[in-house]
């Protein structure tokens, strides 16, 4: 009797599973950077930068929503027009979001639209001055986002053309006020509008990536492309921007796992 009851309970438990299709991409890039921060200096700096980008996307079969997480690390070494002053820049960007997706053109075209939450932590450091040599970069944003991916055969190989666009809508950022030192902020505790709400008007930034994937096997693809990250803001009577252009190359891993609904 006890064994029959156990069999009945197991029969009532759902035994099906959903396939979870995931991709992870590790990509590195190199290219020019252009920097301006009027808190440090009125001069513009330009040079070469490096970027590491990690992207992970998860989508369950029969579900129209998928999750995306991206980690981006940038580092640049730049100089002013006279080549006498050097500025170092480093930034870490975290993106987490959800997309709704649609498959069109016989499943060749995949469209995704949604929103990302973005957090940024970084720094600027002027190696040629002792007067206000550094600037911190701390911000958070809500970003409408879209991704379009088109799959096509060419030369008996499978390819995918992908375009991603993120545009900050609203957020907050840290900034000293004009003429205010970090000593006043952190040692004396003199707050002067240092946590600033931002919108697409005061911080008209955007980020885009165009890439081409060659499917080398069922589980691996080679990705090459362009990443443009254009961050700028005008708050507290200060102007700042970091324009990063990168030629990217990396590996994409495709895998499928089964999960219970």
Match 């580092």 to its residue by tokens. Answer: 75
| Tens-place pLDDT, residues 6-21 | 554 444 444 444 455 7
**pLDDT in the model for residue 89:** 97
Least confident residue range of 68-72, 154-158, 160-164: 154-158
User: Is 60 exceeded by the pLDDT of residue 259?
Assistant: no
User: What would the pLDDT profile of 237-256 be if each residue is shown by its tens digit?
Assistant: 999 999 999 999 999 998 87
Which of 2-16, 55-69, 161-175 comes out lowest in average pLDDT? Answer: 2-16
Residue-wise pLDDT for 19-64, tens only, equals 557 899 999 999 999 999 999 999 999 999 999 999 999 876 557 8
pLDDT band at 257 (very low <50, low <70, confident <90, very high): low
Q: How far apart are CA 246 and CA 72, in angstroms?
A: 12
pLDDT tens string 93-152 = 999 999 998 989 888 999 999 999 999 999 999 998 777 789 999 999 999 999 999 999
Q: Is residue 169 over pLDDT 60? A: yes
User: How far is Cα 174 from Cα 35, in angstroms, rounded to an integer?
Assistant: 18
Over residues 70-79, mean pLDDT: 97
Q: Can you give the length of the chain in residues?
A: 261
The predicted pLDDT at position 10 comes to 45
Closest by CA to 116, choosing from 138, 94, 90, is 94
Mean pLDDT (whole number) for 148-175: 94
Q: Which of 208, 129, 123, 131 is nearest to 163 (CA)?
A: 208
pLDDT, tens only, 188-202: 888 889 999 999 999
The pLDDT value recorded for residue 183 is 86
pLDDT at residue 234 is higher than 80: yes
- Rounded to an integer, what distance in angstroms lies between the CA atom of residue 236 and that of residue 177? 5
Q: Are 161 and 123 in contact (CB under 8 A)?
A: no
Residue 258 pLDDT: 53
Distance CA 140, CA 96 (A): 12
pLDDT reported for residue 60: 67
pTM: 0.86
The confidence score (pLDDT) of residue 27 equals 98
């Amino acid at each position: 009797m006890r064994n029959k009851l156990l069999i009945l309970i197991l029969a009532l438990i759902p035994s099906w599973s959903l396939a979870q299709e995931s991709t992870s991409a590790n990509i590195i890039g190199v290219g020019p950077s252009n920097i301006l921060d009027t808190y440090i200096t009125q001069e513009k700096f330009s040079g070469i930068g490096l970027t590491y980008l990690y992207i992970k996307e998860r989508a369950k079969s029969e579900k129209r929503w998928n999750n995306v997480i991206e980690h981006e690390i940038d580092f640049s070494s730049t100089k002013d027009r006279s080549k006498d002053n050097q500025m170092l820049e480093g930034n870490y960007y975290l993106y987490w979001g959800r997309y709704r997706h649609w498959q069109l053109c016989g499943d060749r075209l995949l469209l995704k639209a949604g929103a990302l939450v973005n957090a940024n932590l970084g720094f600027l450091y002027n190696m040629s001055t002792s007067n206000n040599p550094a600037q911190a970069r701390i911000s958070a944003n809500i970003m409408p986002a879209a991704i379009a991916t088109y799959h096509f055969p060419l030369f008996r190989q499978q390819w995918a053309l992908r375009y991603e666009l993120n545009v900050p809508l609203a957020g907050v950022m840290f900034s000293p006020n004009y003429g205010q030192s970090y000593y006043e902020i952190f040692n004396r505790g003199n707050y002067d509008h240092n946590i600033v709400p931002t919108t697409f008007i005061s911080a008209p930034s955007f980020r885009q990536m165009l890439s081409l994937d060659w499917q080398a096997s069922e589980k691996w693809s080679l990705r090459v492309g362009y990443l443009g990250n254009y961050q700028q803001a005008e708050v507290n009577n200060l102007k700042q921007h970091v324009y990063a252009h990168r030629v990217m190359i990396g590996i994409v891993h495709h895998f499928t796992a089964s999960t219970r609904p």
